[in-house]
Amino acid sequence: MNLITLKSVQHGFGGPPLLDNASFSIAEGERICLIGRNGEGKSTLLKIIAGLITPDSGEVARSKGLVIAELAQEVPQGFAGTVFDIVAGALGDKAELLKKYHHALQLVASEADTQSLQKLADAQHALEAVDGWQLEQEVETVISRLQLDADANVASLSGGLKRRVLLARALVTHPDLLLLDEPTNHLDLAAIQWMEEFFKDYKASILFITHDREFLRRLATRIIELDRGQTTDWPGNYENYLRRREERLNAEAKENERFDKKLAQEEVWIRQGIKARRTRNEGRVRALKAMREAYRQRRTQQGTANLQMHQAENSGKLVCEAENISYSWDGFPVVKDFSLTILRGDRIGVIGPNGAGKSTLLNLLLGRLEPQQGKVKLGTKLEVVFFDQLRDAIDDEKTVMDNVAEGSDKVEVNGKTRHIMSYLQDFLFAPQRVRQPAGALSGGERNRLLLAKLFLKPANLLVLDEPTNDLDVETLELLEELLTEYQGTLLLVSHDRQFLDNVVTSTLVLQGNGQIEHSIGGYSDWEERYRQKQQLMKTAEAKTVQNEPQKKENNQQQNKKAKPKKLSYKDQRELDELPKQLEALEKRLDEVQSQLSNPEIYRESPDRVSALQQQLADTETQLEEKFLRWEELEAML
């Protein structure tokens, strides 16, 4: 059954329409991803579906009694109160009664006097009068299901938990269709993975916008693309969409080429001499006029960004050396006894929960912040460019061009002078857009503006703090390609798993307690090793539990005999050999890690990388098994 159907929907704000006869349907239980370039009108389309905007023309047919809820792209201004109050606030005129009852319960729990008991009784009667008990239970159930504290003050929560509160507020209305606009923005990896698992089991229909390719792959059952006002339906997974879309664009390019060739021939014919005019075919003239109009109305696909970076001269071989550094906020350890050597050409990713201290770690490594213990030594000839996730380098009052060129109409890129308009067009800024204040830009446009500004500066150490937020997939892939070819050193903070896998060669994993793990490879490499370690630990725990009765029986028998148990000759010999074997495995582990830490191997011998990574995983597994065997033999003595 279709929940909602759009037929020939037309909508615009002047200029080419954002939606040009858009048509599609959403059925029960579907998880649909709406994709398209920045500025194509995806958020506008969501608002039309939600009923917040009336289209200029066309039909939006909704099933009877359809309930739609929306999770906005940004946490709204003035978002305050307790979790219970905000979630219950979605329930219309009964929301105030629910809040009063919940507050009365809290008051009685803290001070059960006559006045508080009377307030509770009054609140109960008011709730009973409107049959509101079921709603109260639903609010409590949704809050519990999303693992939230009903009495927590929202202002004190992290960005990820605030998004979870907004999701609870949407879910408490029991929507048939849930609209999500960039749900993973500003979330850490744990929150993104929690959201993925939650929505996989969610029964209602979902229409979501995302530029997180891994989130899209794991969640979408169907893809709708918005391109030049038209919607195209792509059933199947993301890989199928990429393949079939490429085929369609190639066919479109060939068709346009044939059309343009024929139009050029007809233009030559119409301009022939007197003799040709006498024999002119009026039907052919009308066809030419129609072709001219079709050419004028043709909407070409939005251009592709042309990203270039100003490369500085090489830094010294040593970029940064941190030795046993520690740093705390109000007694809470952010970095604890951490050592790291960064060499020229290293590409290092930084991941961890929000609030774990990723930005603090970057500032310590760059010398912007003094460690409370230990020391940091910076290399020579460093030219640092810092991409700040807060976009502090952008002045909202200045125009786009003045933010980049600072009043000039020329910029210098890799020793060549270019006009500012031409340079900004490489970053997909139309001429009329470059004279607007930066404060009027969308999130994706602000990101491209900051990249345009920073890439003019010569850099051999590039530090990017969440550069992927709000970028469309095409620009994201171009940035990946640029960073892969970059010859300098890169420090990258990101929650985009595929972006990390495609760009970095090692990863720093902040665990939230001051401990930092240095892992070879990208996010997927670390995740696989983490999964293997967890499996080994579970296996060891299971063996321990399984062996407990036998150990107890053995202990009882030993007590009866009052004799110490001796190992067999074979077991004793194995125990004597284990320290040497462990030492050899640890030495091999260090050697493999050292080879993988060398950035040259990724350029000179990329075919060896996968073999070394497999060798690293195998050695870690053997080491874990040997430790478990040692503990087992020691316990037998």
pLDDT mean over 157-163: 77
Each residue's pLDDT tens digit, 421-435: 888 888 878 787 888
Tell me the residue type at 121: A
Q: How far from 550 is each of 543, 555, 569, 630, CA to CA, in Å? A: 11, 9, 22, 18
Helix axes 95-110, 133-145, angle to 10 degrees: 70
What whole-number distance in Å separates Cα of residue 111 and Cα of residue 113? Answer: 6
The answer, yes or no, to whether residue 547 has pLDDT greater than 70, is no
What whole-number distance in Å separates Cα of residue 631 and Cα of residue 271? Answer: 94
Give every strand in the sheet of 332-343, ordered side by side.
332-343, 318-329, 373-378
What whole-number distance in Å separates Cα of residue 223 and Cα of residue 241? Answer: 7
Which residue has better confidence, 592 or 172?
172
What pLDDT is attached to residue 299? 57
What whole-number distance in Å separates Cα of residue 354 and Cα of residue 469? Answer: 15
Query: What homologous superfamily does CATH list for 2-240?
Result: P-loop containing nucleotide triphosphate hydrolases (3.40.50.300)
The answer, yes or no, to whether residue 342 has pLDDT greater than 90, is yes
Query: What homologous superfamily does CATH list for 318-520?
Result: P-loop containing nucleotide triphosphate hydrolases (3.40.50.300)
Which residue has better confidence, 597 or 405?
405
What 3-state class would DSSP assign to 341? strand
User: Within its chain, how far is the Cα of 542 from the centroid?
Assistant: 36
- Whether residue 491 contacts residue 504, with contact meaning beta carbons closer than 8 Å, is answered with no
The answer, yes or no, to whether residue 74 has pLDDT greater than 60, is yes
What whole-number distance in Å separates Cα of residue 485 and Cα of residue 462? Answer: 13
Of 316, 309, 629, 349, nearest in space to 510 by CA: 349
Which pLDDT band holds residue 408 (cuts at 50, 70, 90)?
Answer: confident
| CA-CA-CA-CA torsion sign (623, 624, 629, 631) | positive
CA count, 13 A, side-chain hemisphere, 457: 17
The answer, yes or no, to whether residue 561 has pLDDT greater than 70, is no
The answer to whether the pTM exceeds 0.85 is no
What pLDDT is attached to residue 347? 93
Which residue has better confidence, 353 or 545?
353
Residue 376, burial from CB neighbour count under 10 angstroms (0-12, 13-18, 19+): middle
pLDDT mean over 511-539: 85
Q: What is the DSSP letter of 158?
A: -
Q: Count CB-CB contacts under 10 A for residue 402.
A: 17
Greatest extent of the chain over all pairs of C-alpha atoms, in Å: 125
Of 566, 427, 496, 563, nearest in space to 214 by CA: 496
Of 166, 18, 17, 21, nearest in space to 81 by CA: 166
Paired tokens of 582? 């462990």
Each residue's pLDDT tens digit, 164-195: 888 888 888 889 999 998 888 777 888 888 88
Tell me the residue type at 171: L
Which pLDDT band holds residue 103 (cuts at 50, 70, 90)?
Answer: confident
What whole-number distance in Å separates Cα of residue 88 and Cα of residue 98? Answer: 7
What whole-number distance in Å separates Cα of residue 239 and Cα of residue 245? Answer: 10
Helix axes 606-636, 523-561, angle to 10 degrees: 10
Which pLDDT band holds residue 548 (cuts at 50, 70, 90)?
Answer: low
Each residue's pLDDT tens digit, 444-487: 777 788 888 888 888 899 998 888 877 778 778 878 888 888 88
Q: Are strands 410-413 and 347-351 parallel, antiparallel or unpaired?
A: unpaired
The answer, yes or no, to whether residue 382 has pLDDT greater than 70, is yes
Which pLDDT band holds residue 328 (cuts at 50, 70, 90)?
Answer: very high
User: Three-state secondary structure along 231-252?
Assistant: EEEEECCHHHHHHHHHHHHHHH
- Whether residue 486 contacts residue 464, with contact meaning beta carbons closer than 8 Å, is answered with no
pLDDT mean over 237-257: 78
- Confirm whether 2-240 and 318-520 share one CATH topology: yes
What pLDDT is attached to residue 600? 65
Protein fold of 525-636: Helix Hairpins (1.10.287)
What whole-number distance in Å separates Cα of residue 321 and Cα of residue 410? Answer: 39
The answer, yes or no, to whether residue 307 has pLDDT greater than 80, is no
Beta partners for residue 518, in sequence order: 508
The answer, yes or no, to whether residue 280 has pLDDT greater than 70, is no
Give me the count of residues in the chain.
637
Q: Count CB-CB contacts under 10 A for residue 566.
A: 10
Which residue has better confidence, 545 or 35?
35
The answer, yes or no, to whether residue 288 has pLDDT greater than 70, is yes
Q: What is the DSSP letter of 437?
A: B
What whole-number distance in Å separates Cα of residue 400 and Cα of residue 420? Answer: 10
Which pLDDT band holds residue 23 (cuts at 50, 70, 90)?
Answer: very high
- Specify the residue for token string 């690293």: 616
| CA-CA-CA-CA torsion sign (182, 469, 304, 408) | positive
Q: How far from 293 is each of 33, 237, 289, 481, CA to CA, in Å? A: 34, 37, 6, 39
What whole-number distance in Å separates Cα of residue 174 and Cα of residue 182? Answer: 21
Using alpha carbons only, give the angle 88, 104, 165 rounded to the nearest 5 degrees.
25
DSSP H helices, 488-605, are 497-503, 523-561, 569-597, 600-604
Percent of the chain at pLDDT > 90 equals 21
What pLDDT is attached to residue 544? 67
What average pLDDT is seen over the chain? 81
What pLDDT is attached to residue 278? 54
Q: Is residue 122 within a helix (H) or strand (E), and if so which, with residue range?
A: helix 114-129
The answer, yes or no, to whether residue 391 has pLDDT greater than 60, is no
Which pLDDT band holds residue 350 (cuts at 50, 70, 90)?
Answer: very high
The answer, yes or no, to whether residue 562 has pLDDT greater than 50, is no
Tell me the residue type at 498: Q
Which pLDDT band holds residue 137 (cuts at 50, 70, 90)?
Answer: confident
| CA-CA-CA-CA torsion sign (466, 469, 473, 474) | negative
The segment with the largest mean pLDDT, out of 95-109, 252-266, 375-389, 531-545, is: 375-389
What 3-state class would DSSP assign to 145? helix
Percent of the chain at pLDDT > 70 equals 87
Least confident of 56-60, 233-237, 368-372, 599-603: 599-603
Domain ranges of the chain: 2-240, 243-297, 318-520, 525-636
Which residue has better confidence, 460 or 413?
460
What 3-state class would DSSP assign to 425? helix
What whole-number distance in Å separates Cα of residue 140 and Cα of residue 137? Answer: 5
What pLDDT is attached to residue 569? 67
Least confident of 27-36, 317-326, 515-524, 591-600: 591-600
Q: How far from 509 is each of 348, 408, 430, 521, CA to CA, in Å? A: 11, 43, 40, 12
